[in-house]
Structure 1
Amino acid sequence: MKFNQILIMATLIVGLSSCSVFKKNTNKEHSTTETMQLKGNKWQLIEVDGKTVPAQVNGRVPFLQFEDDRYAANAGCNTLGGAVNITGKNKIKFEQGISTMMACPEFEIEQALSKNIIAVDTYTIEGEVLSLKKGGKTLAKFTLIKAEKGEQALAGTWELDYVSGPRIAFEGLYPNKKPTISFDLTAKKVSGNSSCNNYNGTFKTENNHISFGPLASTKMACEGSGESVYFSTLEKITSFDVNGNTLTLIMGDIAMMRFQKK
């Protein structure tokens, strides 16, 4: 009799343990799937602080994007970026990182996103909507951006409207003419104007990584340092991001150059 009772108890313990393990594995699988969906896509900001965000802010689509253990976001002006830690049970923590320092007409949405993203502790994904939350309260919402893949998004001609690094204001670097760049995807060549001389060269891409080959240019004498800043910055670029009509060229995780499609 005692032996039968012991056998029954052992069977129940094994069964309960199996249920517990199964439940843990299911949660882990769900978390991994959502993490892959979160990191593998680009998201457009549609709401922050409970307020609807326009489709474009200062002429740009506001977005959030992840790459490895870092994030990049833009609410229509400056690019925000830093480390991000994503763990099980939909836990997420954004660290304050580097931001560009441009002045733009509309700052309210950028300030709200910058403040709220650091406070976030969890996220949910329902269909194509990503919600960032703190203590169950939604601080920001995003919708999935179905973007063009890889280098196909580079096609066309782009005009520079921001460059990082020099202490001289952008308008002082390029008072008369802004630099341009055009991509020929078939020939793997770039061409354009540095604000003074015409140039051409080659480029290589792999996923969103990009590098430029030697650039040849005409030899017209140019005033100021705008041209040298443009060419020296292009040499440092390691990756790119296309968001609607905006092309951002990046060094590591720092947005170095920004172009608008012509």
Structure 2
Amino acid sequence: MKKHNFIYLAIFVMLLTSCAVRKPSGDNGATLVGKHWQLVELNAEAVPAKVNGKMPFLKLDEENGRYSASGGCNGIGGEYTLQKNNGITFSRGMSTMMACADMRVENGLRTLFDEADTYTVTENTLILSKGKEGAALAKFVLVADQSDKLAGTWELDYIMESADFAQLYSSRKPTITFDMAENKVSGNSSCNNFSGSVKIEGQAISFGPLMSTKMACPGDGERVFFKNIERVTGFDVQNESLTMLMDDIVVMRWKKK
């Protein structure tokens, strides 16, 4: 019986350890995860703000111990582990296999995740290197959080796949209101009211699930609205204009009310 108890205890300790290693460790761990980092330098060479029309980036999800990244083409992902004294390791997972015009940054990122074992965070800069005294393999800068600019109500003035916006929403334009304190949205699809949750990480955004009232609606405006808001993966706010994107494609554009 004692032998069995010892085995159970050992398994329990191993499980706790395996769960704990992906949590932030050291002074910088909490400033590393849960943020959106833009790649600006790779192997001592500057990286353009956009590669193949997309921003190269790295994100580390604290909740499930996974990372996601892109060199401007395919999505790259897998698991990461934080260790003592600012150690970090990456393991590869599944990724898409699309061919793009410029693959240099993406290929460099794949090599980076095989080699990097140390991280440093200073203010808004993340550096990945091999060994504490090794040269920087990659440098990232924190993507500014624009979520506070979303607060309030916006009215739609452009939507993808609409040849005649004025006709599609001749009676009423859709609106959306962001409650950033609760991470909630509400609004009107041009016919029914809707509400639901919103998740924002840097300039990445996703909605849902969205609930709506069930009034019968004339025309095709509501269907087009819900179809396109499900496509949204990113956003940008400039002055009184909110642009919602699917990668680098403009899906919706809104004006502040």
TM over 0.5: yes
The 5-angstrom pairing of residues 183-202 of structure 1 reads: 184-185=176-177, 188-189=186-187, 191=189, 202=194
1:99-114 alignment, distance < 5 Å: 99-114=95-110
One-letter amino acid of the counterpart of residue 188, structure 1: S
Distance, in Å, in 2 between the alignment partners of 1:95 and 1:199 is: 47
> Is it true that 1:77 corresponds to 2:73 in the alignment?
yes
- Mapping of 1:232-251 within 5 angstroms? 234=230, 242=235, 247=245
User: In the alignment, is the contact (CA less than 8 A) between 2:25 and 2:86 conserved in 1?
Assistant: yes
Unaligned runs of 5+ in 2: 1-23, 164-173, 179-184, 201-205, 238-242
Could you tell me how far 1:240 is from its partner in structure 2?
A: 5.6
When normalised by structure 1's length, the TM-score is 0.56
Q: Which residue of 2 aligns with 1:169?
A: none
Contact 1:201 1:212 in 2 (8 A): no
Normalized per residue, the structure richer in helix is: 1
Deviation, 1:60, is: 2.1
Unaligned runs of 5+ in 1: 1-29, 161-173, 177-181, 192-197, 222-226, 249-256
SS at match of 2:67: strand
Q: Alignment RMSD, CA only?
A: 4.2
Q: Identity rate of aligned residues, in percent?
A: 29
Of 34, 38, 42, the residue aligned with 2:32 is 38
Which stretch has the larger CA shift, 206-215 or 86-95? Answer: 206-215
Deviation at 1:79, TM superposition (A): 1.8
**Aligned pair in 2 of structure 1 residues 57, 36: CA closer, same or farther (>3 Å)?**
same
Q: Deviations over 1:98-127 (max 9, x none)?
A: 223333322111111122123211111223
Aligned partners of 1:219 and 1:206: how far apart in 2?
A: 28
The one-letter code matched in structure 2 to 1:210 is: F
Match of 1:124 in 2: 120
The corresponding residue for 1:210 is 207
Give the structure with higher Rg (CA): 1
1:61 alignment counterpart: 55
